[in-house]
Amino acid sequence: MRKEAKDKEFIKKPVYKGGPKALKKFIGENLRYPKEALENKVEGTVYLNYDINYKGEVTDARVIKGIGHGCDEEAVRLVKLLKYEVPRNRGVRVVFHKNIQIHFRLPKVKEKPVQVQYNYVSSPGKTADQTEQKKSATTFTITFNQ
């Protein structure tokens, strides 16, 4: 008879449904850049510590290191929206503590292409008749997009 393998961990940790990729996607979709931070062109990372109760809900979120201009409040709001899956822990109600970093990067602004136009007029060699010269002149328009 073989013995059954026991779990290595006595208390199982909560997991975000879908894993780390789903967590990043959720944050990316729900992050609203604060107006004040956009106006002041503030970028940076907000470090947070938060608690997860036995139901998988975030009960408390604290800013460890912030960047201000409304970004700290937005990071706290975002973390409080998270829901975790908590496996049964032998009937024990455990509060878990986790850390997270939320990066605030200014959205890239696409620059409009600059159009430059040059007019080039070429005319054949000088002739005695000026009217004939004007008729045979060639005009080119060159447009550059940068």
pLDDT of 121 reads 58
Q: How many Cβ atoms sit within 10 Å of the Cβ of residue 109?
A: 6
**pLDDT digits 0-9 by tens, 30-50:** 999 999 999 999 999 999 999
Torsion sign (Cα): 67, 64, 88, 54 = negative
**Domain boundaries in the chain?**
15-104, 115-145
Residue predicted with more confidence, 16 or 7: 16
Tens of pLDDT, residue by residue over 107-128, are 887 766 666 555 555 555 555 5
Asked if residue 86 lies in contact with residue 54, where contact means CB atoms within 8 angstroms, the answer is yes
- Mean pLDDT value of segment 86-102: 90
CATH architecture classification, 15-104: 2-Layer Sandwich (3.30)
What local confidence, expressed as pLDDT, does residue 62 receive? 97
| For range 124-137, the mean pLDDT | 53
Going by pLDDT thresholds of 50, 70 and 90, the confidence category of residue 78 is very high
The predicted model gives 14-27 an average pLDDT of 94
